[in-house]
Amino acid sequence: MGTTGQRAAWPWGRPPGPRRAAAPRVAAAAGVAPDTHRTARPVERRPRGDMYCSCRASCWSSAGRRRRAADGGGDAGARSGRSVGGRGWFVSATMPAALLSPSPPARFRCVPSSLCKLRQQLTVDQCIEPFPAAAPPLDRFLASPPTVGLCQLHSPDIASPSPLPSASVAVDSASPCAVAAPMRKPLLRIPYTDILAPPAVAPASARSLPGALAALERFFAPPPPRGLPASAVILTGAGLSVASGLADYRGPNGTYRVNKTYRPVYHYEFLTSHEARQRYWARSFLGWAALRRASPNAAHYAIGDLGDLGLIRTVITQNVDSLHPKAHPQIPSLELHGYLRATVCTSCRSEFPRDEFQQQLARLNPRWADLLRDAVASGALETEDPAERTFRGLTSNPDGDVDFPEAPYTTFRYPACPRCLADPPAKPDGRRHAVRVDSQGAWTLPSTAGILKPAVVMFGESIAADVKTAAEDAIDGAGRLLVVGTSLATYSAWRLVKRAKDRGMPIAIVNMGGVRGEEQLFADLDPRQAGERGVRVELSTDQLLPALVSELRKGAAAASGGASAAGASPESSNVLKYTLPSRPV
**Residue 110, marked binder:** no
| Burial label, 574 (beta-carbon count in 10 A; 0-12, 13-18, 19+) | buried
> CA-CA distance, 122 to 119, in Å (whole number)?
6
User: Taking Cα atoms as reference points, which of 78, 137, 65 lies closest to residue 109?
Assistant: 78
Residue 533 host element (H or E): none
Residue pair 461/492 in contact by the 8 Å Cβ criterion: no
Residue 53, annotated as binding a ligand? no
Q: At 452, which helix (H) or strand (E)?
A: strand 452-456
Establish whether 151 is an annotated binding residue. no
Contact indicator for 173, 130 with CB cutoff of 8 Å: no
Supply the DSSP string of 249-316, one letter for each residue. Answer: SSSTT-HHHH-TT--PPBHHHHHH-HHHHHHHHHHHHHHHHHHHH----HHHHHHHHHHHTT-EEEEE
SS3 label, residue 371: helix
Q: Is 442 strand, coil or helix?
A: strand
What gap in Å lies between CA 507 and CA 521, rounded to an integer?
A: 8
Nearest to 470 by CA among 324, 351, 333: 333
- 411, 118 Cβ separation under 8 angstroms: yes
The C-alpha torsion from 452 through 454 and 456 to 462, rounded to 10°, is -30
Q: Which of the residues 267, 300, 328, 337 is marked catalytic? A: 337
Other C-beta atoms closer than 10 Å to the C-beta of 387 total 10
- Residue 503's nearest CA partner among 541, 463, 528, 472 is 472
Q: Which element (helix H / strand E) includes 484?
A: strand 480-484
Annotation says 337 is catalytic: yes
CA distance 316 to 264: 23
Is 420 annotated to bind a ligand? Reply is: yes
User: From residue 418, how far is each of 166, 375, 435, 436 by CA, in Å?
Assistant: 53, 30, 10, 11
Displacement of CA 304 from its chain's centroid (Å): 28
Give the span between the Cα atoms of 482 and 282, in whole angstroms.
37
CA distance 320 to 342: 10
Residue 262's Cβ-count burial label (10 Å; 0-12, 13-18, 19+) is middle
Annotated binding site: 345, 348, 417, 420
Binding-site members for Zn(2+) are 345, 348, 417, 420
Task: Give me the active site residues, please.
Answer: 337
